[in-house]
Amino acid sequence: MNVKLIGFTPNPEKLPAMAAKLTHSKTKPEELDKSSDKELKAILEQVMNLGHTSVIEHANFSFAISDVSRSLTHQLVRHRIASYAQQSQRYVDFKEPNYVTPPKIAKNKKMKKAYDETMNNIWTEYNKLLDMGIPAEDSRFVLPNAACTNIIVTMNARSLLNFFELRCCQHAQWEIRQLANKMLQEVKKVAPIIFKKAGPACKSKGICPENKKDCPLYPK
């Protein structure tokens, strides 16, 4: 899995801070950028601590994500306040096997061998369909959820906070949890105030929606 932050709103923390200041100021919007960095930082920290996160919707972040499974992206696109551009199985050549192997299968030599054989058989049949003149848009029906894909994702900061609460959780599926943690590491580099408390709900809100008391992160 490769995750890279490839674009984001310039000054991703300044703009939300300006928006927050606007709501309690007579200053005209076009004059807000004259505010000092120190003042805007203090305003942003205050609204984040109060949970007034609507203003951070003004900051957007775009990620390039590669070598993840279709199983992962089926989960990812359920987060609807986002924009997606995914590699097409209709137009891209997938003749060579390329798939994700779950860790629990990878650790079991016997199971790993059977898994790889199954994947190779699937791609053999996929290529047979293509050779028979079946269009890729129909041949792809035999490809597995494990098939690798690439996707570009754009979310605003508020949507990302919600995404991290759900997907950084220890009870989220392992692959999308890994993705969420990598995305969180990326945005913290450019927006540390916004994402200071970001993570699973036990970290961001001090609660466990799953009520899993056996979880090592369960709030004490």
Q: Is 27 in a helix, a strand, or coil? A: coil
Q: What are phi and psi of 142, to 5 degrees?
A: -90, -10
Active-site position among 70, 140, 167, 177: 167
167 is catalytic: yes
User: What are the helix (H) ranges across the chain?
Assistant: 14-22, 37-50, 70-76, 103-106, 109-131, 136-139, 157-167, 174-190, 201-204
Closest CA to 66 of 139, 123, 145, 151: 151
Active site residues: 167
